[in-house]
Amino acid sequence: MPNASSTLATRSRGPAQTPADGARRSRRNRQIASALALVVGVAVVAVFPFAAPDAYVLSAGVVILSYACTATSWNFMGGFTGYISLGHAAYFGLGAYGTGIIVRDLGLPSFLAWALAGLAVAIITIPVGIAALRVRGASFVIVSIAFVLILLLVFQAWGSFTGGSSGLVVPRPFPDLMRPEHHRVFFYLFAALLAVMLTLWWAISRSRFGIGLKAIREDEDKAEALGIPTRNYKLVAYVVSATLTGLAGGMYALWFGDLDPIFQFSILLGSYMVLMALLGGIRNLFGPLVGAVIVGVALEIFKLEFGDTQFHLVATGLLLALVVLFMPDGIIPAVQAGLRRFGPQSSSIREMTAAELAERNAAAGVSGDSVFSGGPTPTPTPEEKR
């Protein structure tokens, strides 16, 4: 039997912590950390336009937010279903040119034209998605690249409608604003668009539809065998992803004002979307945003240091190789895994002191000798008690 001092020491340690308690505490800590990170991010976005030292830094912030929007919109398809598209620049270009052409030819207000261009991208994407999603893997990647190359040739050759190689000038929606104020307004507009995308991604991730998309990502054949309408789910995800990418392209057109088909329909732009999403973590809500910040800042630094050379392309390729080799799941999952190594480790067998073991046995009516004898002490019969 335990003595008084051992019993007192055991009680002073409080109730025993089970693995479930540790898991709940770890989940609560992650939620608190995520909430703090979200608050800090919102504060940075709110303050940055006024803290930027000059118009160039502010414009770089707008570019990074546009990258974050395109990477997040790509992640609706790539992150949920696992289908890697290198041709999403096609929808970025369609949204940009659609907005500019509607403003130029129909004379509609800028943001009404932006919304109509997004709707047009959604309509165009439906037949394209039905055809493209008939294949998987490398075949799907090739189809996505072929589509963006076709659009590049069309928009370069159709000069009377698209402006051809000379490009298209889009009227500014706020012509009275000076350059810094213009950048500041669009910084917040891109931030609002990104917030809508993140909220939608979060909602889909926790819905039945999102669970079906994740099942497709893990094993499409098994998901279909379980009764998930994989073709319809993929098509919806593809249309949503393309439409949001088109809206990001239209916003870029209204901000930048000068469209070039070589840039708007560039495979390199689609590759940046994939790189940013993979770098941050395609299965994480904020993964594309983190990747966009890293890639966007790195590209601006390389352009300042090396000008119009192709060093930034070499750096981008090396960065993609490092991510694939050492952080295949992205930076955020890698950091989370590293933090878990230093946190409390859950175990199926809880460590127990001799005093705690003796007290538990006493409460259960088991003698201490039974612990080492291989089984409980037999309960005496009434005749043996007499």
Distance CA 268, CA 88 (A): 10
- The band of 11, judged by pLDDT with boundaries at 50, 70 and 90, is very low
pLDDT at 338: 76
Overall average pLDDT of the 118-130 stretch: 96
**How many of the other CB atoms lie within 10 Å of CB of 61?**
26
102-128 in b/e burial notation, b at 16+ Cβ within 10 A? bbeeeeeebeebbebbbebbbebbeeb
Does residue 373 carry a pLDDT above 50? Answer: no
Q: Are 115 and 269 in contact (CB under 8 A)?
A: no
Among candidates 341, 338, 340, 283, which has minimal Cα distance to 27? 340
**Mind listing the pLDDT tens digit for each residue in 304-332?**
887 767 777 787 778 778 877 887 788 88
Residues in Cβ contact with 375 at an 8 Å cutoff, skipping those fewer than 6 apart = none
Does residue 10 carry a pLDDT above 90? Answer: no
Count of alpha carbons within 13 Å of 317, Cβ hemisphere only? 5
The model carries a pTM of: 0.82
Does residue 230 carry a pLDDT above 60? Answer: yes
Does residue 348 carry a pLDDT above 60? Answer: no
Angle of the 230-256 helix axis to the 208-218 helix axis, nearest 10:
100
**Mind listing the pLDDT tens digit for each residue in 75-111?**
999 999 999 999 999 999 999 999 999 999 999 999 9
pLDDT at 357: 59
**Mind listing the pLDDT tens digit for each residue in 67-83?**
999 999 999 999 999 99
pLDDT at 303: 81
pLDDT at 344: 56
List, as one string, the DSSP characters of 350-363: ----HHHHHHHHHH
**Percent of all residues in the chain with a pLDDT value above 70, rounded to a whole number:** 82
**Mind listing the pLDDT tens digit for each residue in 15-54?**
555 556 666 777 787 778 778 888 888 999 999 999 999 8
**Percent of all residues in the chain with a pLDDT value above 90, rounded to a whole number:** 59
Sign of CA dihedral 14, 18, 22, 23: negative
Distance CA 237, CA 283 (A): 15
Among candidates 25, 85, 3, 46, which has minimal Cα distance to 343? 25
